[in-house]
Amino acid sequence: MKNDEKTFDACLMNFVIIGESVLRLDSSFVESKRHMEWHKIKAFRNLIAHDYFGIDVEEVWDIIANKIPHLKEFIEQKLYL
């Protein structure tokens, strides 16, 4: 991913989609799940959308490797997948 610009851009676009999805969550749901880092998800979406050239490739990779699996598990539990 680090050397593949198309894959990197695709990952960033998916982060934007995730961030947009979080923005649309019902506020009562967000409040009831305070252990989730909603503010960080939204902030990262904003960083990608507004400061593309300030994005750290290593930070993106860290999020993919260490944060996305937990978010995916949370979503699957809530959707009963």
Count of beta carbons in the 10 Å neighbourhood of residue 24: 6
Q: Which two tokens stand for residue 70?
A: 């937990």
Catalogue the active-site residues.
45, 50
